[in-house]
Amino acid sequence: MAYPLLERIDDPAALRRLERAELHQLAQELRAFLLESVSKTGGHLSSNLGTVELTIALHYVFDTPEDRLVWDVGHQSYAHKILTGRRADMARLRMLGGISGFPRRAESPYDTFGTAHSSTSISAALGMAQAAKLKGERRRVVAVIGDGAMSGGQAFEAMNNAGVMDLDVLVILNDNDMSISPAVGALNRYLARLVSGRAYRLARRAAQKVLSNVPPLWELAKKVEEHAKGMVLPSTLFEEYGFNYVGPIDGHDLDTLIPTLRNLKEASGPQFLHVVTRKGHGYKLAEADPVLYHGVSKFAPEAGIVGSGKPGAKPTFTQVFGDWVCDMAERDPRLVAITPAMREGSGLVEFERRFPERYFDVGIAEQHAVTFAAGLACEGMKPVVAIYSTFLQRGYDQYIHDVQIQNLPVRFAIDRAGLVGADGATHHGAFDLSYLRCIPNITIMAPADENECRQMLYTGFLLDTPAAVRYPRGTGPGVPVEREMKALPVGKAQLRRSGRRVAILAFGTMLQPALEAAESLDATVVNMRFVKPLDEALVVEMARQHELLVTVEDNVVAGGAGSAVAEGLAARNIAKPMLHLGLPDRFVDHGDQKLLLAMAGLDAEGITAAVEMRLRALHATSLVSVK
């Protein structure tokens, strides 16, 4: 497909040379290119289709990258990437060696801040604006924050701070959770231009100067202004934080966006623009089901996404959790499920349908999710927090302070542990074993297969102390899931293969590649199951019976499960050659999940090669000792 205007845009400077009348055609071409490109690579679709006009307007009005532009959450930045010289790179979006699906500072000077998690843009924008002020530089700083990201507490912490800093920063709320309402019409477009314009600002400043000597009159004037705005605007909440609120306006109307942004570009102090967009705009299938088209695999645009999987396909670990939590809720009316805005991703769609009164989506507010669960546990409820490994990091203080210190029986179903694939370093669950096992009171389980995942979830639910079950994205080895739930003996590992010389202690889904490697190595293999408490008796036995202990985990080696094994042996004064295999001490890039695991040496071939190399080194050392 030809894109005559878009193909002329290799940077925003070229965009700014276009005539205003050409921007509407550019928007059509950009939207068509997005659909064509993402349908071939997979990625975030509906959110990006909704930000086409807004992206064009921002780069048309502001002098990027000199003016700073921060996207939040960053998965809505594909149009931004295309207009900033990465159109050809979209063919390798989220692939190994290709561009990221999120803004990335190392990738482009136009990506001013990495925002793969949410609610950070206003804080970052304030920092940038303050730095410009301290250095005496004149530049504009814009934060584009989605309505979902506005549910995160950090966004309001930053706005509270912005109100007293008097910095030239513009916050744009991209409100895409509703269709364009009747209020977003001619009157609102007129008011947006009015209250963002220079005449209004000058009149307001003059009134403030005259009336500030008579505080009661100034306060009365402010209230009259607020009430006048409140008659046609949704809320004065943002003005209470010290922002000049403008909007809401149609985020797909370039003829309104551009003059409003030009007015706000010249305004001083904190400004807040509320734009209303529609997810999937311009592609009817995505408009009708923006959730289905939020994150997509490859598909044919003319046919749309067809089906949800092959009949009889292996269930994912997420689906195993979703089935278990519904089954458990039928048994125990005290079970409540909590998610920080990840209903679909965490497998809670069916739970919400069947148990709506016991389902709580708290928004992108991981800290609140954890403490909310702690409060429920205090009153005898049995909360289950379904959360991604990388998102639990954001509630770490609450995890320690509110759950662990009080030893409350909150259960954490930690999805996306290990390497997740295309979303990359910001979403890999590379650290949870390290940051969890150092905390007292916790039980940490890592299932090797689908059935073990179900039984571990049940085991954790029965405990009167905090418990976590962590499992990876995608499917397991295909072990049939037993409907009957049986509690596992806490802290007990399982011997899966007997061999000689080498004992491989496998954690979680690393069991399968460990078993494959063991065939050529004739090694013993233990399915460790529990990271904490560790089966130290069996670890000691393995150490005494073998020349080399090997630990394998899909977590960073530093402080992980292998470290727990080494610490246990050291505490018993047992010296044994060890090999710790896990994720490297660096941030792993995006790419195919299996390929990334292989590159980390966590497939059967990698394990075999690493063990053989260590055995050769041990043999060489022993020969030197004999000499």
Active site residues: 279, 366, 394
Strand, coil or helix: 337: strand
Burial, 598: exposed, middle or buried (Cβ in 10 Å; 0-12, 13-18, 19+)? middle
CA-based R_g, the chain, Å: 28
Angle at 334 between CA 356 and CA 347, to 5 degrees: 45
Report the C-alpha gap between 424 and 390 in whole angstroms: 11
Closest CA to 260 of 202, 189, 203, 201: 189
491 DSSP β-pair partners:
none
Count of Cβ atoms closer than 10 Å to residue 612 Cβ: 14
Pairing of strands 524-527, 494-497: antiparallel
* 93 close to 296: Cβ distance less than 8 angstroms: no
- For the stretch 151-188, what's the b/e string if a residue is b when 16 or more beta carbons lie within 10 angstroms of its beta carbon? bbebbeebbebbbeeebbbbbbbbbbeeebeeebeeeb
What is the DSSP secondary-structure string of 217-254? Answer: HHHHHHHHHHHHHHHHSS-SHHHHTT-EEEEEEETT-H
Burial, 19: exposed, middle or buried (Cβ in 10 Å; 0-12, 13-18, 19+)? exposed
Query: Which residues, at least 6 apart from 400, have a Cβ–Cβ distance to it below 8 Å?
Result: 439
Pairing of strands 530-532, 443-445: antiparallel
Question: Tokens 């504009």 appear where?
Answer: 140
Angle at 118 between CA 37 and CA 151, to 5 degrees: 120
Report the C-alpha gap between 340 and 392 in whole angstroms: 10
Distance of CA 148 to the CA centre of its chain: 12
Give the DSSP H/E element, type plus range, for residue 327: helix 317-331
Report the C-alpha gap between 446 and 493 in whole angstroms: 11
Report the C-alpha gap between 424 and 429 in whole angstroms: 10
* 152 close to 365: Cβ distance less than 8 angstroms: yes
